[in-house]
């Protein structure tokens, strides 16, 4: 019976050496931190700097010692301490760095703001405070940038509360932060900001929304942006709608085909092809008469996506256009409709003196053939004569020989 009891206690005896080892390690670790803490009082700044760097390795246990180093008279030691606390991260480190936000040295405050962003979400209250108290615009901009890195759903009210009092660069980063938040409150805030009299603010909103990627909440904001008086806002609004490809945006995009700016019209013509509503075909056909060649080119591309055999008759004349850009888009659009009559035009464009057109023609040929022969005109000519014409077999389309 006693032997059984001893056997039952055996695992506990086996744990004793492990406990002793861990205790010894912790004791040695604490002694090492104490030694480094003592070194922070050394007269030699190089010794103090080395102590700060070494303390970083001990993580949160070193934060109390590093807090003392924040009062060091040597700027390099102080800078290293700010960086060390940022690398350690966590609540204590963030709270320690927050004390530097009242430092008389502007550069030191900015460093603290930057490293606060590395400590994680415990830094957010301090970064919000920096938006209110930091007199240096660049410092507030860095605070906004860090907020954007840390932002999560639910953070929109705190960001919006401080938005109006900021300079343009800081507002730009705050709109990016709101886009990262991406929740209902953030987009309600965006809607209010789109009423701003400052066109930069409105531009920042549509830019941030577009950069953040497709989000259905953005649809009413982006469609309304197409009515904005600033062409930059309308353009970036169109970029955002191009990403969304939302059928609901069709009416607004069709109206944008009449925009005074040719680049907005161009993007509208392109976006209609991605939306996929075939009601756009007559509108796109009308765009083939637009005075700007880029509008005609993108309208031709979208007709290739949305059209039918009847559309071929309006695309073919574009092969004789003055603009190589229109010729390339029309030729590729025709192949989408099983008509290969523009292949010779694409191959001929490889002789263009303009490198851009040679490259675009080559890319179109690659997409059509799924081969990569670069911009070598003879290689493409050989391929077309030997293999390419098999593309037309059973397609019902026409080739350049017809």
What SS3 class is residue 399?
strand
Would you say residue 385 lies in a domain?
Answer: yes
Question: What is the percent of the chain where pLDDT is above 70?
Answer: 89
Would you say residue 319 lies in a domain?
Answer: no
| Average pLDDT rounded to a whole number, residues 172-192 | 97
The residue ranges of DSSP E strands in 187-336, in sequence order, are: none
Tell me the pTM: 0.83
- What is the domain extent for residue 395? 327-402
- Report residue 21's pLDDT band, with 50, 70 and 90 as the boundaries: very low
Would you say residue 192 lies in a domain?
Answer: no
Would you say residue 126 lies in a domain?
Answer: no
> Please, is 13 exposed, middle or buried when counting C-beta atoms within 10 Å of its C-beta (0-12, 13-18, 19+)?
exposed
| Average pLDDT rounded to a whole number, residues 356-367 | 97
Would you say residue 361 lies in a domain?
Answer: yes
Give the mean pLDDT of the chain.
Answer: 90
- Report residue 304's pLDDT band, with 50, 70 and 90 as the boundaries: very high
Find, among 381, 393, 390, the residue nearest to 343 by Cα.
Answer: 381
pLDDT of res. 8:
53
Would you say residue 10 lies in a domain?
Answer: no
Q: Is the pLDDT of residue 144 over 70?
A: yes
Q: How many domains does the chain have?
A: 1
**Token pair 């008469």 in the structure block, residue:** 289
Would you say residue 378 lies in a domain?
Answer: yes
Would you say residue 351 lies in a domain?
Answer: yes
pLDDT of res. 9:
47
Backbone angles phi, psi at 214, to 5 degrees: -55, 135
- Report residue 1's pLDDT band, with 50, 70 and 90 as the boundaries: very low
Q: HSE (CB half, 13 Å, CA atoms) of 47?
A: 10
């Amino acid at each position: 019976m006693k032997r059984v009891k001893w056997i039952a206690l055996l695992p506990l005896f086996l744990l004793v050496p492990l406990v002793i080892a861990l205790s010894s390690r912790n004791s040695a670790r604490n002694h090492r931190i104490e030694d480094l803490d003592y070194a922070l009082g050394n007269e030699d700044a190089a010794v103090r700097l080395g102590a700060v760097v070494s303390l970083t390795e001990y993580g949160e246990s070193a934060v109390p010692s590093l807090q003392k180093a924040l009062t060091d008279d040597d700027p390099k030691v102080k800078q290293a301490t700010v960086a060390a606390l940022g690398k350690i991260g966590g609540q204590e480190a963030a709270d320690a760095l927050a004390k530097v936000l009242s430092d008389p040295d502007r550069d030191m405050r900015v460093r603290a703001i930057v490293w606060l962003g590395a400590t994680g979400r415990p830094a957010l209250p301090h970064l919000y405070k920096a938006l209110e108290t930091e007199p240096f615009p660049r410092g507030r901009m860095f605070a906004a940038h860090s907020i954007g890195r840390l932002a999560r759903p639910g953070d929109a009210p705190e960001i919006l509360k401080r938005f109006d009092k900021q300079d343009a660069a800081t507002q730009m980063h705050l709109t990016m932060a709101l886009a990262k938040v991406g929740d209902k409150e953030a987009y309600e805030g965006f809607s209010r900001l789109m009423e701003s009299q400052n066109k930069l603010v409105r531009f920042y909103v549509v830019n941030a929304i577009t950069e953040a990627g497709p989000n259905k909440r953005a649809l009413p904001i982006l469609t309304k942006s197409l009515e904005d008086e600033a062409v930059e806002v309308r353009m970036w609004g169109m970029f955002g709608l191009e990403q969304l490809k939302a059928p609901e945006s069709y009416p607004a995009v069709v109206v944008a085909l009449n925009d005074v700016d040719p680049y907005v019209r161009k993007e509208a013509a392109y976006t209609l092809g991605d939306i996929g509503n075939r009601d756009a075909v007559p509108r796109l056909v009308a765009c083939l008469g637009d005075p700007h060649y880029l509008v005609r080119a993108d309208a031709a591309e979208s007709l290739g996506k949305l059209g039918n055999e009847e559309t071929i008759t309006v695309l073919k004349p574009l092969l004789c256009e003055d603009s190589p850009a229109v010729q390339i888009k029309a030729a590729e659009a025709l192949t989408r409709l099983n008509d290969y009559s523009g292949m010779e035009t694409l191959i001929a464009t490889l002789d263009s003196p303009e490198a851009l057109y040679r490259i675009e023609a080559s890319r179109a040929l690659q997409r059509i053939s799924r081969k990569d022969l670069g911009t070598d005109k003879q290689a493409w000519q050989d391929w077309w004569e030997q293999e390419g014409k098999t593309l037309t077999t059973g397609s019902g389309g026409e080739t350049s020989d017809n």
